[in-house]
Structure 1
Amino acid sequence: MSSSVPTPAQLADIDDEELVRLAVSWRAQASRGDREAFGIAHALEVECRQRLRASQLQQLPPESIPAARPWWKFWGSKDHPASAP
């Protein structure tokens, strides 16, 4: 990878394992004081987080919609029949 901040198109061509490896490598260079490496590491880490977030969202089950109750029974609960009139 060149020493300029990668574009989203360039990052899209990199697989997940390689992306993580590059992010760790560039972050190590940045921690040694390389200012150019900081921007590159940041871009790689942002892409890693976005991919992780997207994959986690795909794993979530669909949200269930609760059954509607009549508006006048807002104080009652189906779980606690003693609180209902």
Structure 2
Amino acid sequence: MSSSVPTPQQLADIDDEELLRLAVSWRAQASRGDREAFGIAHALEVECRRRLRASQLHQLPPETPPAARPWWKFWSGKTDSISAP
């Protein structure tokens, strides 16, 4: 990888394991004071998080809609209400 911040197209061509390895490597260089490595590491880490978030969203089960109630019972949210004196 060159010493400039990678473009989204360049990042899309890298598989997940390689992306993680590169992010760790560039972050190590950045922690040693390399200013150019900081931007590259940041771009790689952002892509790692984006992919992780997308894969986690695919794993979520679909949300089930609430049970339908007749429209005239919209004010009774609880089944066992306390009667007023």
> Into which bin does the TM-score normalised by the smaller protein fall?
0.7 to 0.9
Are 1:75 and 2:76 counterparts?
yes
Q: Which runs of 5+ in 1 are unaligned?
A: none
- CA deviations over 1:2-42 (Å, ceiling 9, x no partner): 00000000000100000000000000000010000000000
Evaluate the alpha carbon distance shift between residue 71 and residue 56 of structure 1 in structure 2; reply closer, same or farther with a 3 A threshold: farther
AA in 2 matched with 1:35: R
Relative contact order higher in (CA < 8 Å, ≥ 6 apart): 2
Runs of 4 or more, structure 1, over 6 Å off, are: none
User: Structure 1 21/75 Cα, relative in aligned 2: closer, same or farther at 3 Å?
Assistant: same
Secondary structure, counterpart of 2:66 in structure 1: coil
Identity of aligned residues (%): 80
How many residues are treated as equivalent by the alignment? 82
Question: Residue 38 of structure 2 aligns with which residue?
Answer: 38
Q: Is the 8 A contact 1:23 1:44 kept in 2?
A: yes
Please tell me the residue identity of whatever aligns with 1:27.
R
Give the counterpart letter for 2:46 in structure 1: V
Instruction: State yes or no: 1:10 paired with 2:10.
Output: yes
Distance 1:71 1:53, change over 3 A: farther
